[in-house]
Amino acid sequence: MPESKQDRELIELLNELRVALPGVQVMFAFLLMVPFSQGWALTTATQKGVYYAAFVFSTLAILMLISPTTYHRIRFRDRDKEHLIKLSNRLAIAGTVFLATAMSCVVYFVTDYTFPNITAVATGILAGLFAWFWFGLPILREIREPSAKTS
């Protein structure tokens, strides 16, 4: 791949990560505060388990979404940009999977705490929307137009 295309792809990837990271970091900060709030004593064992899953998945999302930056800093002079782009793309996709899972857990946690009668419906709908818009649409496009990847 020509170096100018690699440069453009790397810049695009880093810009996309700049969009995702603040959201996951804000969610992580919220999750850090929850156990120390007054209402924590009112949570059920299930809610605590879902909270912990959200906490772990948001941590994994941060790990995956920041990893390309660290990898680039350590290897940036090695002239291996093609590998960096492919690896970073995979890490970013994994990070968004963990982010969608964490956000679905947060939706479950908040909904179950505030409106327990609609927990399953609200969580299912929002998890489905994450799956469709973040993953289904691009995968469907790839299935329908596999040649679009080469342009």
pLDDT digits (tens, 9 = 90+) for 13-55: 878 888 888 888 899 998 999 999 989 999 999 999 999 999 9
pTM, full prediction: 0.85
- pLDDT tens for each residue of 78-130: 778 888 889 999 999 999 999 999 999 999 999 999 999 999 999 999 999 99
pLDDT at residue number 151: 47
Tell me how far apart the terminal alpha carbons of the chain are, to the nearest angstrom.
12
Token representation of residue 134: 């973040």
pLDDT confidence bin for 71, thresholds 50/70/90: confident
Strand residue runs (E) in the chain: none
Can you say how many angstroms the Cα of residue 114 is from the centroid of all Cα atoms in its chain?
25
∠ CA 17-9-76, nearest 5°, is 80
Structural domain harbouring 65: 3-150
Check: CB of residue 130 under 8 Å from CB of residue 104: yes
How many structural domains does the chain have? 1
Residue 149 has pLDDT above 80, yes or no: no
Token representation of residue 60: 């994994």
Residue 148 has pLDDT above 70, yes or no: no
